[in-house]
């Protein structure tokens, strides 16, 4: 056994903790939304805010650090899948930390102030961003598994199409409002 293999195990285990925990909360939110249970949705969003710095940030940083160590040990810095994985990591980490966490806390604050309708509306908007964020995360996982090279234009194009479609589908109205502003 070598260090690369140890870091690979830690990388995958941390990614599972990060992605698995998030997908579980996301699914719970989707179930609450489908039942139109605003109180349950707010409890779940409160959990997102609570778990952000205690679970998601540490797990994502362990994933990143182990990935960097593997890329260094394996001399992989020029590989497309490593570069794209880092870009995807940055995008989803920043989305989680600066959008999802903050909006979840805002929804919780609104709920605590008795502004249930506003809190639920914030929660629904947050779920749309979360749908896109998880599309990004699963695309990063696909990049890590398929390991495309810079010349794999069909595969890279497919990943780009998935992300563009998810942005249009999940963020479309928000992007249109932003473009008009």
String of DSSP letters for 98-167:
IIIHHHHHHHHHHHHTT-HHHHHHHHHHHHHHHHHHHHHHHHHHHHHHH---TT-HHHHHHHHHHHHHHH
Q: Give pLDDT tens digits for 35-68.
A: 988 888 888 887 887 888 899 889 999 999 999 9
Over residues 89-144, the pLDDT tens digits come to: 999 989 988 888 888 888 888 888 988 888 888 888 888 999 999 999 999 999 99
Closest by Cα among 18, 8, 12 to 55? 18
Q: How far is CA 167 from CA 12, 68, 144, 160, 170, in A?
A: 26, 28, 21, 10, 5
Longest CA span, the chain: 56
| Tens-place pLDDT, residues 152-176 | 999 999 999 999 999 999 998 765 5
Quick check: 129 and 100 in contact, CB under 8 A? yes
């Amino acid at each position: 056994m070598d260090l690369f293999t140890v870091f690979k195990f830690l990388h995958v285990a941390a990614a599972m903790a990060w992605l698995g925990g998030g997908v579980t909360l996301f699914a719970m939110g989707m179930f609450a939304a489908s039942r139109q249970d605003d109180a349950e949705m707010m409890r779940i969003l409160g959990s997102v805010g609570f778990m952000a710095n205690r679970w998601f940030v540490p797990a994502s940083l362990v994933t990143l650090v182990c990935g960097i160590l593997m890329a260094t040990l394996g001399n992989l810095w020029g590989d497309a899948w490593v570069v794209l994985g880092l870009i995807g990591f940055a995008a989803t980490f920043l989305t989680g930390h600066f959008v999802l966490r903050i909006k979840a806390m805002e929804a919780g604050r609104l709920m605590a102030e008795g502004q249930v309708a506003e809190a639920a509306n914030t929660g629904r908007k947050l779920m749309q961003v979360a749908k896109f964020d998880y599309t990004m995360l699963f695309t990063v996982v696909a990049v890590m598994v398929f390991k495309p090279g810079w010349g794999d234009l069909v595969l890279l194009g497919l990943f780009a199409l998935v992300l563009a479609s998810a942005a249009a589908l999940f963020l479309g109205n928000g992007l249109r409002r932003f473009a008009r502003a």
